[in-house]
Amino acid sequence: MDWIKQHYERAFLGAFALALIACSGWLSWKALSFPENFAERNSNKKPDNTITPPDTKSVDAAAALASNPRSWSPHEGSLFVSRPYVLKEDKLIDPLEEGDPLHPPITNVWLQKYDLDYGDVAVKSQDPDKDRFSNLEEFLAGTDPTNEKSVPPYHTKLRLTKFDPVPFRLKFGGDSGDGETFIINAKDAKARTQFLKLGDMIEEAPYKLLAYEKKTISKNDMEVNVSELTIQNTETGRKIVLVYDKEADDPTSYGEFLYLYDNTKHRWKKDDEFALSPENDRKYKLIDISAQEAQIEDLESGQKFQIGKAE
């Protein structure tokens, strides 16, 4: 150790020389092994140009989501998204609850059931399935507004536009007091009053007296005569009930109708039979008519339906 302290310059130079010798040996070894390290890259060997296909699973999954985007649907709400509410006339309405209807008489639940836009003020008049029936008509009939094969009855498209009555030329003037002889007044200016009994024929008219019922009602503390005389047309078999001192309409009264399904107009006489397109094989009969409404009968089922007056 004393020698190193006395001759540290020589000791340092000796250590440095040993380090140089070691580095020279390592470089010589690496140089000798250089051809082996680059043997696989020898230019005489034919290169492998095969390209490994990339993994496209994630790309395909993203493309599928892009082509089928998610759609919004009604929900019960969550921590971050509220349930949908509608403000109507300063009142906040929850369409998910069966409360105040947004478009009466249609219920909110029915609108949501068929995914209809309850925020649209014209939703009642819309026709999503293009079957010529509005959402309101489908709701009242209990049919599916999104299925063109589910339609309300076609007679619901019928409206009375005009009543054209033909006054009956005969009027019941009561009985003569014995309940057996009846007074028939003709409205014709020159016709005479007739006194007939049950079974008699009315002069100059194809009608026979068929039955009589004496009736009274109390009105304003007074007894009012509402007795009924039934007569029958011997040619058609149709019966008419004449009420005491009351005007009656002839069975030949007409009605004019508008069929909203195809906007066609029709004129039918009482007792006429008819069909409504596109159900041309289904027959109806006009059995009664007045200034306010008409009544038709389905000849197959026997059901009777009221036809309202057009607005």
pLDDT at 267 over 60: yes
| 166 vs 271: CA distance, rounded Å | 14
Distance CA 161, CA 268 (A): 12
List the Cα angle 79/83/86 in 5-degree steps.
150
Cβ neighbors of 112 (< 8 A, separation 6 or more) are 74, 95, 96, 118
Q: Domain residues of the chain, as ranges?
A: 86-152, 157-164+252-308, 170-243
- 278-292 pLDDT per residue, tens: 999 999 999 988 889
pLDDT at position 15 = 73
Buried b (16+ CB within 10 A) or exposed e, 84-106: beeeeeeeebebbeeeebbbeeb
pTM here is 0.54
Report the alpha-carbon distance of residue 19 to residue 220 in Å, rounded.
Answer: 140
**pLDDT tens digit string along 182-221?**
999 877 656 688 999 999 998 878 889 999 999 889 888 8
E-only strand ranges, 127-206: 158-164, 170-175, 182-186, 194-196
Secondary structure of residue 198 in the 3-state scheme: coil
Q: Over the stretch 76-135, which tens digit does the pLDDT of each residue have? A: 555 555 666 666 666 766 666 666 787 889 988 898 899 998 888 899 999 999 999 999
Q: What is the pLDDT of residue 204?
A: 79
d(CA 31, CA 253): 124
Query: pLDDT per residue over 142-155, tens digit each?
Result: 999 999 999 999 99
pLDDT of residue 219: 84
pLDDT digits (tens, 9 = 90+) for 27-71: 777 666 666 665 555 556 666 677 777 777 877 887 787 777 666
- Reduce the DSSP state of residue 220 to 3 states and report it: coil
Percent of the chain with pLDDT over 90: 39
Cα–Cα dist 141/160, whole Å? 20
Span 221-242, average pLDDT: 88
Q: Please give, one letter per residue, the 3-state secondary structure of 52-70.
A: CCCCCHHHHHHHHHHHCCC
**CB count, 10 Å around CB of 257?**
23
Q: What local confidence, expressed as pLDDT, does residue 175 receive?
A: 86
Could you tell me if 156 and 137 are in contact, meaning their C-beta atoms sit under 8 angstroms apart?
A: yes
Q: Phi and psi at residue 156, in whole multiples of 5°? A: -70, -10
